[in-house]
Amino acid sequence: MRRQPTIATVAEHAGVAVSTVSRYLNGHYVSQSAKQRIAKVIDKLGYTRSATARNLSLRRTGCLGVVVDSTIDPWFVQLLGGIEEELTTHDTSLMLASLELRGHYDASIVMKWIREKRVDGLIFVKSQKRERPLLQAAADAKIPTVAVSPEGVEHSQVVRSNNVAGGAAVADLLVDLGHRRIAFAGGPDYSIDSKDRLRGLKSRLEHLGASLDPKLIFSCHSWEAEAGIEFGRTLFSKPLSITALVAANDALALGFMRVAQQRNVRIPQTLSVIGFDDIPESALVWPGLTTVAQPMRDMGREAYRKLFQKVEMLETPAVVEHPMELIIRESTGPARQN
Domains of the chain: 7-49 (no CATH), 63-161+296-323 (3.40.50.2300), 163-295 (3.40.50.2300)
Confirm if 276 and 291 have CB atoms less than 8 A apart.
yes
Q: Among 257, 246, 172, which Cα is nearest to 209's?
A: 172
Average pLDDT, the chain: 87
In contact, 175 and 149? CB cutoff 8 Å:
no
R_g (Cα) of the chain, nearest Å: 25
Mean pLDDT on 20-27: 72
Cα angle, residue 22 at apex, residues 20 and 25 outer, rounded to 5°? 110
CA atoms within 13 A on the CB side of 291: 24
Residue 309 confidence class, pLDDT cut points 50, 70, 90 = confident
Which is more confidently placed, 75 or 171?
Answer: 171
Taking the C-alpha atoms of residue 275 and residue 254, their distance in angstroms, rounded to an integer, is 8
Q: Indicate whether 291 pLDDT > 90.
A: yes
Average pLDDT over residues 301-311: 86
**Stated pTM of the model:** 0.76
Q: What is the pLDDT of residues 183-230, one digit of tens each?
A: 999 998 888 889 999 999 999 999 999 989 999 999 999 888 999 999
| Confidence at residue 132, expressed as pLDDT on a 0 to 100 scale | 87
